[in-house]
Amino acid sequence: MNSAPKQLATFAGVLAALFAGGAIAGQLIDADPDGGDADAHDSGAAAHSDGSGHGGEPVQTVRGLAVAESGLRLAVDDPELARGRAERLRFSVVDDGGATVRDFDVEHTKRMHVIVARRDLTGFQHLHPRQAEDGSWSVKLRLDEAGSYRVFGDFSYKGEAITLASDLRVDGDADLRDLPSAEPTAVSDGGYDVRLDAGGEAAGEETELRFAITRGGEPVRTEPYLGAGGHLVALREGDLAFLHVHPEDDGVRFAATFPTAGRYRLFLQFKHEGRVQTVAFTHDVRR
């Protein structure tokens, strides 16, 4: 008479165990349904902010973490540079077969942009090299401080935005600096006062970066530079991941998606009275 209740209790226990196991298995199978590879957003080929990140669209990825990508490689002739002396930096973009790539798309009015920054995010330079008949590129570069530098070749090839990077070295004792704290105002190398007004600070979501420029207390209207009112490069502290963001239609405004929490160094360039100004900000993304 007591066997039936015992059998029912045993059967209920088996069902509970099966349901619990199925739930755990489901969690393991679908542990990260949206993310997949945890590093995917830090190793993709896309870079320019295009409004992605809303409605389930892919979040902006970062570039400049690799010397080779999308079947192309950045080949620097000589990464050793003398301190405080203008030298000629020469490099080529080669394909998987070792052939030099010659044809590039025009982007931001140029076919090749070269960005150089020291590992502590000082010494920022934005250069535009010339291409030789053999397809190689060269540009005059002077580095006044010892240390390790990152050089980025930023270009578009067959409609794809690509940034390849490599390291440069300047011998000597390097006086590395801590990244400055985040401040809303900064002064350009030509004495212009610039204020940064940023939107939300959530990683993976598009934010608007607005810059107000004044000189002597008077607002400054920038002149076209590289086809826009300004040019902005963001480098992530630590690995120097490269975010090259697009300006909005008017003014000095940019849309950017910071892929991770952390600190970024923003390098704004704008033109006024025929001269290009450069100003840097530290930007914190806390979540």
pLDDT in tens, the chain (287 residues): 444 444 434 434 433 443 334 333 333 222 222 333 322 222 222 233 333 333 333 344 678 888 999 999 999 999 999 999 999 999 999 999 999 999 999 988 999 999 999 999 999 999 999 999 999 999 999 999 999 999 999 999 999 999 999 999 999 999 999 999 999 999 999 999 999 998 767 898 888 999 999 999 999 999 999 989 999 999 999 999 998 687 887 679 998 889 899 999 999 999 999 999 999 999 999 87
According to DSSP, the β-strands at 206-215 and 113-118 are: unpaired
Cα–Cα distance measured from residue 269 to residue 234, given in angstroms and rounded to the nearest whole number:
12
Are residues 209 and 266 in contact, defined by beta-carbon separation less than 8 angstroms? yes
Strand partners, 251: none
Per-residue DSSP letter, 186: E
Retrieve residue 275's tokens: 């001269």
According to DSSP, the β-strands at 80-81 and 160-170 are: parallel
Phi, psi of 39 (to 5 degrees): -100, 10
Are residues 204 and 53 in contact, defined by beta-carbon separation less than 8 angstroms? yes
Measured CA angle at 171 (ends 117, 73), to 5 deg: 50
Per-residue DSSP letter, 60: P
Retrieve residue 283's tokens: 């930007």
Retrieve residue 230's tokens: 């300004």
Sign of dihedral through CA atoms 237, 240, 243, 247?
A: positive
Are residues 184 and 178 in contact, defined by beta-carbon separation less than 8 angstroms? no
According to DSSP, the β-strands at 253-257 and 262-272 are: unpaired
**Residue 258 CA neighbour count, 13 Å, CB half:** 27
**DSSP 3-state of 20:** helix
Q: Is 215 exposed, middle or buried (CB count within 10 Å of its CB: 0-12, 13-18, 19+)?
A: middle
Give the alpha-carbon dihedral of 219, 221, 225, 228, to 10 degrees.
Answer: 110
Phi, psi of 27 (to 5 degrees): -65, -40
Predicted confidence at residue 61, as pLDDT, reads 63
Cα–Cα distance measured from residue 187 to residue 195, given in angstroms and rounded to the nearest whole number:
9
The domains found in the chain, sorted by start residue, are 71-170 (2.60.40.1930), 185-285 (2.60.40.3340)
Cα–Cα distance measured from residue 51 to residue 270, given in angstroms and rounded to the nearest whole number:
23
